[in-house]
Amino acid sequence: MAEARGPWNEVGDRLGALALKLKLHAHEELSEERKAEATSAVERFGATLQGAIDALGEAARDPAVKEDAKAAGAALSTAVNATVDDVLKVLKTPPPTSTTPRNDPPKDG
């Protein structure tokens, strides 16, 4: 699971940068009261996101979670493979041919 830590850290860094940019825009465009509300909301969002990431990190160390994640990944892989197989069958099947004449509407002209 150590391989997953890097990408999640990247997500956290990028969301932090986005939050900072949004905060700067808000400070340029909002009243003082609205600035305080926006700042508080961004800080709460950041704290909540960090808490969720921390919880995921802790859960990833649980052997039962690892086993469930492995099973979910296998089920997803099976479903994707079955879907690809179905699509390939459809693509390999020749289109039906019609032996009856088409009844196209008459053309004006």
* Tally of helices (H runs) and strands (E runs) in the chain: 3, 0
Cα–Cα distance, 83 to 99 (Å, whole number)? 32
Contacts of 38 (CB under 8 A, 6+ apart): 22, 23, 26, 27, 30
pLDDT surpasses 80 at 52: yes
Average pLDDT over the chain, rounded to whole?
81
> pTM, whole model, 2 decimals?
0.40
Give the pLDDT of residue 75.
Answer: 93
The residue extents of the domains of the chain are 1-60, 63-91
Give the tens place of pLDDT for each residue, 56-96: 888 888 899 889 988 998 998 899 889 888 888 888 877 77
pLDDT surpasses 80 at 15: yes
Asked if residue 52 lies in contact with residue 32, where contact means CB atoms within 8 angstroms, the answer is no
